[in-house]
Amino acid sequence: MIGRKNREQRTLFIAGDIEQFIPEDHILKRVDRILDLTWLREEVRECYCEDNGRPGIDPEAAVRLMLAGFFHGIVHDRKLMREAQVHLAIRWFAGYSLEDELPDHSSLSRIRQRWGVERFKKIFQRSVKACIEKGLVSGETVHIDATLIRADVSWESITERHAETVVAENEAEEDTGSNNLQARRPGRPRTREGYPKKVSMTDPDATLVTSRGDFHLEPSYKQHTSVDDKAGVIVDVDLTTGEDNEGQRLIETIDRIEDTTGRKLQQVTADASYAHARNYEELERRGIDAIIPPQRERSKEKRIPIRRFKYDGKHQVVKCPGGKILGRTGQRANGWVYSARKSDCEQCRLRERCLPETAHRRVILIVEGYEALLRARRRKLLGWDNDTQRVYGRHRFRVEGTHGEAKTQHGLRQAIRRGLVNVAIQVYLIAAVINWKRLARDGTISYPSSWHSRQVSRLIYCIVSTIQENLNLRMVQFIL
């Protein structure tokens, strides 16, 4: 039989706490049991005047509102506050009753500006610490990867970088009142920095990059994420501009992870963009197993590749396929230049395959850590053992899966604000949200002391409001 709902019957009074309407397994209820932000008030105290001005929003309530938004993938403040008006769980999580007036959306922006990025970083670090205390972090195997975040800019704002340089120069001249005509001429900049390269005028911190060779460039930021293997906790997160090379940040990332966890790393997995010779060498030196597939050597114009040259690190010489010795002739930032003798190459039978037409001798660059790179290549060529393959197999679902989760469920697909600092706040809060999700999923939860005191106050509130409602009803009956 088809049921019928009488839409006219509305409850006149609601007795008790709004918590009773939120299911026990709701994400905000589960997170509330383990979330401890009582330290925050002291942390931000210096951002507020002690004895002047209107009382601001409670710091814990403000952060809870922001976190509740990211838990539900609501990234914009306006939308979040509109949702909070009708969303019981968000109201309850942030500590607002049904009658309480919610803060204006602009207050959340002002709070972010006032507190600065470091305080939001501490919120993330506290989430890692909570996971470590609950034994969710092994600190032995870490998966590291980077992902691009689309900047919040339009295509119309993209211009060539030298145009931006000219605008900046003109503005500087207007400021100084300079009448130097030579300096004002918008000629081609002399430095490499100023060569035509696209940049966004509205968010210059974002740079044009792509994650795939067959995809167009987009103005982006880059998030560097390190995920622990045990329970998928994010132990480190960092944000740079899109064109930053993640391979050059590996060692400093490992330092930070070891500082955070207080344990020595045993294994690191990363993709081929981290396969720098220096990284292999440094990880070897520290006794960390580098599970990083080496990149294929790129050989230009079908010339004899560098791998055919035998490097002797002990005597610092290179032996070419023609049997000649190449000695050191110069130094670069990332290694040493080795050159063959002109006379050797002129008489060599391999000359056509080894040298470009215009060159008189072969010159190669041996990068720092080249021997460690050769060992890593040999290891991969011989085939990784089962254990190594198993750990690298987890790289995809652990760190790449975390990026997918952050983008599809928590609003990391696009930056919601402009500037490195503002996007970093978004990144830290989303990483903290994911960690608290992991913690809330764990069965062995012990509640913080603040949770117990909240439960007691809620119980008292329930009892008082029930008595109040009964009294109200009796008064109504008496009047009728």
User: Phi, psi at residue 214, to the nearest 5°?
Assistant: -100, 20
Running DSSP on this structure, what letter comes out for residue 187? -
57 or 350, CB closer to ligand SF4?
A: 350
- For the CB of residue 334, give the shortest distance to ligand SF4 in the complex, in Å: 21
Give the single-character DSSP code of 411. Answer: S
Cβ 318 to ligand SF4, closest distance in Å? 9
The token pair that represents 94 in the structure block: 């942030």
Q: What is the rounded CA–CA span in Å between residue 120 and residue 425?
A: 6
Residues near ligand SF4, by CB under 6 A: 320-322, 324, 340, 344-345, 348, 350-351, 354-355, 362
Query: Which of 61, 350 has the CB closer to ligand SF4?
Result: 350
Judged by CB, which is closer to ligand SF4: 119, or 361? 361
Name every residue whose Cβ is closer than 8 Å to that of residue 279 and which is 6 or more positions away in sequence. 247, 250, 251, 290, 292, 369
C-beta closer to ligand SF4: residue 33 or 351:
351
CB of 349 to ligand SF4, least distance (A): 7
* Euclidean distance between CA atoms 142 and 164, whole angstroms: 41
Query: Which of 370/392 has CB closer to ligand SF4?
Result: 370
- Identify the three-state secondary structure at position 87: coil
Task: Please answer whether residues 462 and 16 qualify as being in contact, where contact means their C-beta atoms are separated by less than 8 angstroms.
Answer: yes
Instruction: Provide the minimum distance between the beta carbon of 373 and ligand SF4 in the complex, in angstroms, as a whole number.
Output: 21
What's the min distance (Å) between Cβ of 374 and ligand SF4?
Answer: 19
Q: Per-residue DSSP letters for 113-166?
A: HHH-HHHHHHHHHHHHHHHHHTT---SSEEEEEEEEEE-S--GGGEEEHHHHHH
CB closer to ligand SF4, 175 vs 357: 357
Q: Cβ distance 103 to 81 under 8 Å?
A: yes
Give 78's contacts (C-beta < 8 A, 6+ positions apart). 105
For the bound state, the minimum distance from the C-beta of residue 346 to ligand SF4, rounded and expressed in Å, comes to 8
